[in-house]
Amino acid sequence: MAKNPLKVLVTGAAGQIGYALVPMIARGAMLGPDQPVIIHMLDISPAAEALNGVKMELVDASFPLLKGVVATTDVVEACNGVNIAVMVGGFPRKEGMERKDVMSKNVSIYKAQASALEKHAAPDCKVLVVANPANTNALILKEFAPSIPDKNITCLTRLDHNRALGQISEKLNVHVGDVKNVIIWGNHSSTQYPDANHATVNTVNGDKLVPDLVGDDKWLKTEFIATVQQRGAAIIKARKLSSALSAASSACDHIRDWVLGTPKGNWVSMGVYSDGSYGIPAGLIYSFPVTCDKGEWSIVQGLKIDEFSREKMDATAKELMEEKSLAYSCLN
């Protein structure tokens, strides 16, 4: 029996990531090859013409799963009845701007969008925040959409997770699909901690731990971490534009695994509401290793944390506490 269409909201849809993301959603990369979708696209008024151009292209592509397109600058119309919200729109940091200025702009954007989701989205709406500062934007959204369950508000660290998988696959000259269970701890910022201690590679002799195969502790503690942390900046330097294709693909991965489940024995990284696991202060949106089943995520428990990891995990938590204080000061 044919499934009912799901309504998927993409904010900032006329931007680079939005432009890369909407065809992936329409093609089934996010919700599966048998799930029809209606895409709701939101952007600011100055981008209205470009947004309409994206709508025209979606129509022209004749995607079989695409059952409708809403392109609007009205946040209420955009949020109406949505089942999944991918929050790509935000205010980017510009030259000469202080961190507090960026935070203040994004707090006001996320407060308004949260209020619209609260009033108009489907009650079980799942939210993914992509726009930076992603963890703290998600926290603000949670604050102003109190009826959306805490577990339904997440932020994107899957891009960092996928980058870490890519670095390991290149280092070991193995297929990326054979590498699993890296972890991104903490903030989607340069303090994030990419952790390969528990990662494995599927070899002809079964799963082998990445640290054993790499055999270079120094590389794992320095170059590997720095490359993943700074990858976004490296792409901007190379393209003169920020990551769009990889960010869109990772957003699809995040939602797909959340909705359809993670493969048995695999975990992924998601920015989720901390419950105090691994000694991380409750009340932060922090990236943890999670497994997903039947639309619910669960933090992977019982992983051994060494002293080096503890230090890195605490440092990124400290930055998130500072961001939280800064964001809340912008509310007053």
- Binding-site residue ranges for substrate: 93, 99, 132, 163
Active-site residue 188, yes or no? yes
8 A C-beta contact, residue 16 and residue 240: no
241-245 long-range contacts, CB within 8 A, separation 24+: 241/16, 242/16, 243/159, 244/16, 244/17, 244/19, 244/20, 245/20
Q: Which two tokens stand for residue 252?
A: 């699809």
Active-site residue identified among 40, 120, 175, 188: 188
Can you say which residues are annotated as belonging to the binding site for NAD(+)?
12-18, 43, 106, 130-132
Q: Which two tokens stand for residue 116?
A: 């619209």
What stretch of H or E contains 8?
A: strand 6-11
DSSP alpha helices (H): ranges in the chain?
16-27, 48-60, 75-79, 99-120, 134-144, 158-172, 210-214, 217-221, 223-239, 245-260, 307-331
For helices 307-331 and 99-120, the axis angle rounded to 10 degrees is 80
In whole angstroms, give the CA distance from residue 248 to residue 23.
10
In whole angstroms, give the CA distance from residue 55 to residue 13.
10
DSSP 91-140: PPP-TT--HHHHHHHHHHHHHHHHHHHHHHS-TT-EEEE-SSSHHHHHHH
Q: Find, among 329, 289, 292, the residue nearest to 164 by Cα.
A: 289
Active-site residue numbers? 188
